[in-house]
């Protein structure tokens, strides 16, 4: 007899999935419906049924998720769950390769290369081929290309050609570095993280005797977050489950939002076709959000044709409708949110109860400034604060030096972007210049040029004319033009070679240039940046005993989290959905799923912020169309609020 009252512990949907018969099972677990609880109880159910836990494989995407499920299962059935194979795909592939990697030509004591190891190896290979110091991608960028190729099973040449499109990167050199990297890893008896997955799949495909052993060993296979699997992971699981077919996968096609790192939502959509006889269960009872929020989420996602149709049902009582807040522009959006946060705190909400979500990091630029001004603590869960990002500091360094020729920090940062100039070399040059470098002046510019290494001199020649044109072209009152010219002539090429996520950083820089239009001079812009950066520092670390702060996050980073109150920024076409994603030609399916994820993070209140205009670099404004995702929602499900600021 079972010691667990499954019927009491689970709702009818969860119970059906937990007690599903043998064979292929697909559990579509919508947002907030108890996915982790269902998987945990499935493990407990199998153990209670007499299944040897050593013959159960639980695959997750994070070690934390695996630990949480195993700890919960242990709380239900005690030590009976011991011996279960649980962990990430990488962890399980490594466990098998430690036993059989010699069949692929590796010694069993192979080294797993971390990011630093891989970076050093690629840098050494590029250096040996004379590619360092030239216009060639840095190791992190190359590793990003190699990783995407591995996880999507595409040729490195094709992935590199797409990544560096419109930039003068020699793709053949990229491929040669990749081939040398693969060979060098072999010589070192090493694998990187991507190799663990690729070699795990190769082991099964090339050595049927090993595959047969694990097919027989694993009586049941459970997979969490199945919508996030890539081609390699799905194929690896398919081979393992081919014989017994006792495969239960849990996921939500509505929340598949990681295609940019190789995830393929078609894996979950095609599951019933790949596994004839699949039993499908849907978890649709939502314990998180009020019904009004769920009605909006359901209406939003209904526009995606390729999906398992389902509708979230609330258990919580009726409450407030989500608000669509119409404001003039980004500044008014920030002011509204700050005022609303103060109001929410008066109602008893804590800082930790509130989150602001956005599609791209630069969307929160004005809000970060306003929160800093108001001394409202906030925590960026998706990176560093906007004006503290490396690429933002980089593109402001030239302007800082022009405005203040005595700014040593700006000089060292700017020189550090040049080839063959490190921090020590830059400091020596600064000292040789007498602690001042006025590149607006021909004499000062020449003095700097003469002290630069030859390789740096070539690149500096692209930047130097901007300083000469500062007074001639009246750039003192147009800081955005200085940054624009710097990016066009030099930094854009530097960024594509330096940053793996070049596209996202380019969006940030473009937004920064537009943002400068509200300042009459470069000095005014830089003074505000300096002031607000210092304010950021003051509000960054709350005093002991204080709340930690409002959460600011991209939607991608917010998946799996929840808050009482959620604001979604820039719910307008071109921002959410992102114009960059739409221009890539994949349609708006993934953008709509992102919008759905954003909406379903809210428990009590949801605010969809809709500015009417965006500033442009020429000082004008661009009128914004409401997000198509909001336009599709029946007006009866939303409350409109029009905000005017004097």
Closest CA to 366 of 391, 340, 390, 336: 336
Report the alpha-carbon distance of residue 161 to residue 193 in Å, rounded. Answer: 23
Cβ contact 456:420 at 8 Å = yes
pLDDT confidence of residue 586 = 61
225 counts as catalytic: yes
Q: Say whether the peptide bond before residue 577 is cis (omega within 30 degrees of 0).
A: yes
35 part of the active site: yes
Do 194 and 112 touch, CB atoms closer than 8 A? no
- With 0-12 / 13-18 / 19 or more C-beta atoms within 10 angstroms meaning exposed / middle / buried, residue 622 is exposed
Half-sphere exposure of 276 (CA within 13 A, CB side): 0
CB-based burial label for 348 (10 Å; 0-12, 13-18, 19+)? exposed
- The pLDDT assigned to 500 comes to 85
Q: 221 forms bridges with which residues in the sheet?
A: 57, 247
Q: Which long-range contacts (CB under 8 A, 24 or more apart) does 84-88 make?
A: 84/43, 84/53, 84/54, 84/56, 84/57, 84/58, 85/54, 85/56, 85/57, 85/58, 85/218, 86/57, 86/58, 86/60, 87/58, 87/59, 87/60, 87/63, 88/59, 88/60, 88/61, 88/62, 88/63
DSSP for 413-451 reads: HHHTTSTT--HHHHHHHHHHTTS---TTSHHHHHHHHHH
Model pTM? 0.85
Residue 23 CB-density burial (10 A; 0-12 exposed, 13-18 middle, 19+ buried): middle
So what's the pLDDT on residue 104? 96
Dihedral (Cα; 421, 427, 428, 431), 10-degree rounding? 140
* pLDDT in the model for residue 2: 59
- Report the C-alpha gap between 381 and 549 in whole angstroms: 11
Q: What DSSP designation does 500 have?
A: T
DSSP letter at 313? Answer: E
Task: Out of 225, 332, 394, 605, pick the active-site residue.
Answer: 225
Which run of H or E residues covers position 336? Answer: helix 330-346
In this prediction, residue 95 carries a pLDDT of 93
Catalytic entry in 282, 506, 601, 615: 601
Task: Give the residue among 359, 296, 347 at the shortest CA–CA distance from 322.
Answer: 296
Q: In whole angstroms, what separates CA 220 from the centre of its chain?
A: 32
Q: Which of 33, 35, 359, 600 is catalytic?
A: 35
Q: Which of these is catalytic: 36, 215, 278, 521?
A: 36
From the candidates 13, 192, 195, 224, give the one annotated as an active-site residue: 224
The whole-angstrom separation of Cα 367 and Cα 344 is: 17
Q: With contact defined as beta carbons under 8 Å apart, do 620 and 480 qualify?
A: no
- 612 catalytic residue (yes or no): no
Residue 42 annotated as catalytic? no
Q: Tell me, what's the pLDDT at 541? A: 45
- The structure tokens listed for 376 are 């409202």
| Active-site residue, 261 included | no
Catalytic residue among 88, 152, 255, 307: 255
Annotated catalytic, 498?
no
CB atoms within 10 A of CB 329: 17
> Which residues partner with 608 through β-bridges?
324, 568
46 alpha carbon, distance to own chain's centre: 35
For residues 546-555, b (16+ Cβ closer than 10 Å) or e, as one string? Answer: eeebbbbbbb
DSSP string, 455-469: HHHHHHHHHHHHHHH
- Consecutive sets of 10 residues in the chain, 646 residues long: mean pLDDT of each? 82 96 95 90 91 91 82 80 86 94 94 90 91 84 93 93 87 95 94 94 96 96 93 95 95 84 87 95 94 94 82 92 95 95 94 95 90 89 77 92 90 91 90 90 89 90 90 87 93 90 88 86 83 54 58 92 96 91 75 94 97 79 92 95 73
Provide the 3-class DSSP secondary structure of residue 192.
coil
């Amino acid at each position: 007899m079972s010691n667990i009252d499954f019927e009491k512990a689970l709702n009818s949907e969860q119970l059906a999935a937990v007690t599903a018969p043998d064979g292929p099972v697909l559990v579509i677990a919508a947002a907030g419906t108890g996915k982790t609880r269902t998987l945990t109880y499935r493990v407990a159910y199998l153990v209670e049924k007499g299944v040897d836990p050593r013959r159960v494989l639980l695959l997750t995407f994070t070690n934390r998720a695996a630990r949480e499920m195993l700890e919960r299962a242990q709380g239900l059935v005690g030590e009976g769950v011991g011996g279960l194979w649980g962990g990430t795909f990488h962890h399980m592939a490594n466990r098998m390769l430690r036993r059989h990697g010699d069949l692929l030509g590796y010694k069993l004591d192979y080294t797993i290369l971390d990011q630093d190891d891989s970076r050093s190896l690629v840098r050494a290979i590029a250096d040996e081929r004379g590619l360092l110091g030239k216009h060639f991608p840095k190791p992190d960028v190359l590793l990003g290309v190699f990783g995407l190729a591995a996880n999507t099973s595409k040729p490195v040449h094709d992935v590199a050609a797409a990544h560096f499109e419109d930039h003068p990167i020699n793709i053949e050199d990229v491929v040669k570095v990749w081939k040398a990297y693969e060979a060098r890893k072999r010589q070192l008896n090493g694998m990187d993280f991507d190799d663990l997955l690729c070699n795990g799949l190769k082991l099964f495909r090339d050595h049927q005797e090993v595959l047969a052993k694990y097919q027989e060993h694993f009586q049941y296979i459970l997979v969490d977050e199945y919508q996030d699997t890539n081609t390699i992971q799905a194929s690896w699981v398919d081979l393992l489950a081919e014989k017994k077919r006792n495969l239960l996968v849990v996921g939500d096609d509505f929340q598949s939002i990681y295609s940019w790192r190789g995830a393929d939502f078609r894996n979950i959509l095609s599951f019933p076709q790949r596994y004839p006889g699949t039993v499908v269960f849907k978890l649709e009872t939502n314990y998180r959000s009020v019904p009004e929020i769920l009605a909006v989420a359901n209406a939003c996602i209904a526009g995606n044709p390729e999906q398992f149709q389902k509708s979230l049902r609330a258990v919580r009582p009726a409450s407030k409708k989500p608000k669509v807040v119409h404001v003039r522009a980004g500044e008014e959006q920030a002011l509204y949110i700050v005022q609303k946060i103060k109001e929410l705190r008066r109602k008893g909400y804590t800082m930790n109860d509130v989150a602001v979500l956005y599609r791209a990091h630069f969307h929160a630029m004005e809000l970060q400034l306003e929160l800093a001004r108001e001394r409202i603590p906030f925590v960026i869960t998706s990176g560093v604060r906007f004006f503290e990002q490396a690429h933002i500091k980089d593109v402001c360094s030239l302007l800082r030096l022009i405005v203040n020729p005595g700014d040593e920090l700006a000089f060292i940062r700017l020189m550090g972007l040049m080839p063959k100039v490190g921090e020590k070399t830059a400091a020596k040059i600064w000292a040789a210049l007498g602690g001042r470098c006025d590149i607006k002046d021909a004499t000062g510019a020449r003095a700097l040029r003469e002290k630069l290494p030859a390789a740096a001199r070539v690149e500096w020649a692209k930047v130097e004319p901007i300083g000469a044109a500062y007074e001639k072209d009246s750039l003192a009152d147009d800081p955005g033009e200085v940054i624009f010219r710097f990016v066009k002539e030099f930094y854009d090429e530097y960024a594509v070679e330096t940053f793996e996520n070049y596209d996202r950083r380019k969006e940030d820089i473009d937004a920064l240039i537009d943002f400068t239009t509200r300042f009459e001079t470069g000095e005014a812009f830089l003074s505000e940046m300096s002031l607000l950066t210092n304010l950021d520092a003051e509000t960054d670390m709350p005093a002991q005993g204080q709340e930690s702060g409002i959460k600011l996050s991209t939607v991608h980073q917010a998946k799996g989290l929840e808050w009482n109150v959620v604001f979604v920024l820039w719910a307008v076409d071109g921002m959410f959905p992102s114009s960059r994603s739409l221009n890539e030609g994949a349609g708006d399916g993934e953008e709509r799923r992102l919008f759905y994820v954003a909406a379903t993070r809210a428990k009590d209140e949801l605010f969809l912020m809709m500015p009417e205009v965006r500033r442009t670099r020429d000082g004008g404004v661009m009128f914004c169309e409401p997000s198509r995702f909001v336009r599709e929602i029946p007006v009866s499900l939303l409350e409109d609020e029009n905000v005017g600021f004097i």
